[in-house]
Amino acid sequence: MAQGHVESIHITNAAEAAMRSVPEVMAVAGLGLEGDRYAASLGSFSGKPKPSRQITLIEAEAIEALELELGLKLSSGETRRNVVTRGVALNHLVGRDFRVGGATLRGHELCEPCSDLARMTGKPAILPGLTHRGGLRAEILEGGMIRVGDAVD
């Protein structure tokens, strides 16, 4: 697997609240990211907990493709994903353990776009635009600090 890196990090403390960009975040094993809605059981899907809701990742290249292919400009935080990566094929990490900065993660499933994302962004074209490239849902196996610029390997 080619080594990528963390381009940006986004968290929010409440369901549907705007994501805010942070330079670093502590990943807590079995829980989520400190300060994020899912670690505090306040996310939209917290009533249906599962390990794959602890952290989400998306490729910067997928966000850029939305603009190139559909003319759809989307900020990294609007994707509602926690970690934006560059240089790594996240779809290939389903079922695999990998490191992001100081944390060890396990990729569980693709993070397909949903109608909630289309509604919150006001951009319905986001659904077909991010299908099969909407990111990765992952579990935090070993906690640690994740910083912008950290390696994904």
pLDDT interval class at 119 (50, 70, 90): confident
Question: Is 74 in contact with 142 (CB distance < 8 Å)?
Answer: no
Tell me the average pLDDT across 119-145: 92
Calculate the average pLDDT of the chain.
92
23-74 per-position pLDDT tens digit: 999 999 999 999 999 888 777 766 666 788 899 999 999 999 999 999 999 9
Q: Please give the full DSSP string across 105-143, using - where no structure is assigned.
A: EEEEEE----HHHHHHHT-TTHHHHHTT-S-EEEEEEE-
Q: Which residue has the tokens 């997928």?
A: 62
> The pTM is what?
0.92
Domain 4-152: top CATH class: mainly beta
Give me the sign of the Cα torsion angle 89, 152, 76, 45.
Answer: positive
* Ranges of each domain in the chain: 4-152
